[in-house]
Amino acid sequence: MQHNLQESIDIKRFRKDAVARHVFRFFGLLVLALFLLLIIHIFSNAFPLLKTPELELKQSLDTISFEDIDHQAQMGDGLLLFNYRRQALQTVSATNSGDAQQALQCSVTVYEISEQTVSSAQNAELSHVKNAQFFHPCSQQFIGVDVNEGYLAYYAMLHSNGMLELFSLSNLNAKIERELVASFTFNNEMQGQVQREGSAQNALQAMAVNPLLDKADWHMIKAGDHIAMYQKLSSSSIALFFHHLASIEAPSIQVIRDVEEFKLLPRMQLIAAIQNEQALILSPKGEIKQTLSENLDNALPKHILASPSERSLYLSVGNEVYVYRNANIDGAFLYTSAGTLSLDKSDAFKQIKFDRQTLAAFALDRQGIISIINSASNEEVSYLQVDEPVLDMLWHNRHLYLFSADKIFIYQLNNRVGITTFASLFEPLQYEGYSAPNYIWQTSQSAEFAEAKFSLIPLIIGSLKASFLALIVAIPLALGAAIYTAYFAPERIRNIVKPSIEMIEAIPSVIIGFVAAVWLAPFAERSLLSILIVIICTPFIVLLLAILSNWMRQQDKYANFEVYHLLSMSILFILSLLIVFHSSQYIQLLIMDQTSDSLGGFSSVISNLVITKTTVVVALALGIAVAPTIYSLVDDALFDVPEGVKQASFALGASQMQTLTKVVLVVASPSIISAIMLGLGRAFGETMIVLMVTGNTPIADWDLLSGLRSLTSNLTIELQEASRGTSQYHILFLTAAILFAFTFVVNTVAALLKKRYQTGESNA
């Protein structure tokens, strides 16, 4: 009976153990699965950056039953096609004969291609597309307007008396509506010049008004409140004018000769032109402002194109495409060379379109090859061969529209975040407005058409700079404290000091960051020179105290004061630091005194040092946060060195310091290195201290007195504002992957070193 009772108890116990084992195994595997899912989520969101962008044909519209499309423009989420029609109307004469007479009715028909049109069936007809019609007198001329903005579309009508009317189109309440936004009349001061130009070509007649207004081949470009109009008088002459819509002055038509190719830049009030076999930047009056084609190996430029911001120019020379960026060079805004486009398949192109939300650009060459280009790094990412002859091209709302003689082909860009290349992330690039190539992280656009800059180098440098500076502060503190508590201090002192230091590790980093931002940062700003002097003098103070300690040990009465030796040395050390600090404060005040002429230049240097203090502060705050982690591991490693090893060293005649440096530190060195690497991983992954203390300025330099932004703080700042699916969103996940990979490698190496130490210790 008793045997059966014991057997029943054992069975219940075994069952409980089995259930507990399975429960703990389940939760352990669940933690590992969650950790694995987290890693997969990070890398899966970074993976789209490696995909190649591709153009996929989504729709084709048949325009063969319509007259020629006179113009195309962007508006909101759709694309507008303009068709200027002259239709014959049957009217009854007012005379008694009753003969019918023909009259003309002129109108501008606007077709809107929206997302719904693109997603409809293949080979749709233009007649099925939503449209609107606006009537005008037939004496007016239709002028298409190219705009850089994608919110409103525009067209203009030119009267025979020289008045020009500018209309905007908007899509309100599912209806295309028109509004007159500006009207002005030409200045006739250029009348004589234009007439002389016309008589020289036998193409224009002298009229009461400007004879150029009768020619129906004007083109207009609108950039903000600036507009520019032009028409080609011949193969080498153009008539043009620039105008600001808010100006009350009437524009004057200018004539520029010997122009082979040109691009008007109304926003910059300049003309990029090929004149006399040279690429030049001209003023609106034709004056040469800058020569671009000085170093092109004597090759002749063919075409010149511009970005929507007008601050990037693309010059086709032979089979090469040279890129120029507008930058401030010694106070003058000039176009500086930014390298060449790397094109694998395509020839020098004749058109280029840009995506405002990414770095993608689309270039069309004479062979019908469309190259997908990273506009920042000038790299061809992908290309598409189009079989149909392409007359025109337009990019809008993630779709590329190709216009042939009788069709409109609509392509959709897939994997557009794949436009990001290795060079755009890790190499210095020449950006618009910058005088030289640089590493820049800037996702927020402070101005229209500002380029998104995604260089990760400033963030990586910021993380490394903060981490290594923190180790410079943390290692002496942690290693010195660990050597004392594990080797010199009595057991009762170690039992008090070690838990006290380890409690600092439990303080939330946000508290340390708060204290550093509120107290340490202002303190460092006021006393930066004093802090630097204290840091420089500390080794000398320690050396002097060591000499003094050695002299005291040699005295006969030392045994009576041995108990107070450590306390007295500590008090002397603290007093020495305070004396040096307050003395340096006085020196700093003396240097900062502007009345001292001899120190005036040095005073300005010190003033600059006081202002730029963020990296020094983060090193102090982060070093204090990391020190307890390193201390705890180093203390355990030193304390666990076998006592027999120490006694063997003493038996061989080694002193206490010799035993420490030659035996204890050598035996514990793998664990010490492991602790330092774990502290590096802890500092590299710290967020709140770096976020609260630094200026959060992504600067790619190693200057200890400049600001920084780390990978972790950048994720905290920008991830919540990044739109899902954008390049910024996926690049932030790439930074998270880099952060994870770095900390994983560091922690793995640290764990392997510690395991090696433990294995060697067990074998011994």
Predicted pLDDT of residue 271: 92
Q: Is residue 83 a contact partner of residue 70, using CB atoms and an 8 Å limit?
A: yes
Chain segment 540-579, per-residue pLDDT in tens: 887 888 788 778 877 777 777 766 777 788 888 889 888 8
What's the pLDDT band for 425 if we cut at 50, 70, 90? very high
More confident residue, 525 or 326: 326
Chain segment 427-486, per-residue pLDDT in tens: 999 888 888 889 999 887 766 667 788 999 999 999 999 999 899 889 988 888 888 888
The amino acid that residue 232 corresponds to is: K
Domain ranges of the chain: 66-92+101-185, 186-279, 457-763
The radius of gyration computed from the CA coordinates of the chain, to the nearest angstrom, equals 38
Task: Take residue 287 and report the two structure tokens written for it.
Answer: 């004056």
DSSP 8-state symbol, 49: G
More confident residue, 128 or 526: 526
Chain segment 315-327, per-residue pLDDT in tens: 888 778 889 998 8
The whole model's pTM is what? 0.82
More confident residue, 55 or 62: 55
Q: Is residue 671 a contact partner of residue 755, using CB atoms and an 8 Å limit?
A: no
Lowest mean pLDDT among 150-159, 472-481, 673-682: 150-159
Cα gap 441→446, rounded to integer Å: 13
Cα gap 88→113, rounded to integer Å: 28
What's the pLDDT band for 208 if we cut at 50, 70, 90? very low
Residue 196's Cβ-side half-sphere holds a number of Cα atoms within 13 Å equal to: 8
Cα gap 198→192, rounded to integer Å: 10
Predicted pLDDT of residue 719: 86
Predicted pLDDT of residue 122: 55
Q: List the one residue out of 55, 71, 74 whose CA is nearest residue 113.
A: 74
The amino acid that residue 76 corresponds to is: G
14 has pLDDT over 50: yes
Task: Take residue 205 and report the two structure tokens written for it.
Answer: 């007649």
Residues with Cβ within 8 Å of residue 709, at least 6 apart in sequence? 441, 458, 459, 462, 694, 696, 697, 698, 699, 717
Backbone angle region of 440, left / alpha / beta, with phi > 0 → left and psi within -120 to 50 → alpha? beta
65 has pLDDT over 60: no
Chain segment 481-513, per-residue pLDDT in tens: 888 888 888 888 888 888 888 888 888 888 888
Chain segment 217-248, per-residue pLDDT in tens: 788 998 888 899 988 888 888 888 898 888 88
More confident residue, 551 or 198: 551
Q: What CATH architecture does domain 457-763 belong to? A: Orthogonal Bundle (1.10)
Which whole-number Å values give the CA distances from 4 to 10, 81, 454, in the listed order?
10, 94, 75
More confident residue, 189 or 64: 64
Task: Take residue 514 and report the two structure tokens written for it.
Answer: 């708060």
Lowest mean pLDDT among 47-51, 263-267, 722-726: 722-726
What's the pLDDT band for 185 if we cut at 50, 70, 90? confident
Helix and strand tally (H, E) in the chain?
20, 31
Q: List the one residue out of 297, 389, 392 whose CA is nearest residue 352.
A: 392
Find residue 80's DSSP bridge partners: 73, 112
Predicted pLDDT of residue 189: 52
Taking the alpha carbons of 688, 694, 696, 700 in that order, is the dihedral positive or negative? negative
Q: Which residue pairs from 130-133 have beta carbons closer than 8 angstroms and sit at least 24 positions apart in sequence?
A: 130/176, 131/176, 132/175, 132/176, 132/178, 133/107, 133/108, 133/109
Q: What is the 3-state secondary structure (H, E, C) of 97-124?
A: CCCEEEEEEEEEEEEEECHHHHCCCCCE
* Vertex 506: Cα angle to 505 and 507 (nearest 5): 90
- Residue 89, exposed/middle/buried by CB under 10 A (0-12, 13-18, 19+)? exposed
Average pLDDT, stretch 32-61? 90
Average pLDDT, stretch 741-763? 77
Task: Take residue 496 and report the two structure tokens written for it.
Answer: 């008090």
Q: Is residue 344 a contact partner of residue 355, using CB atoms and an 8 Å limit?
A: no
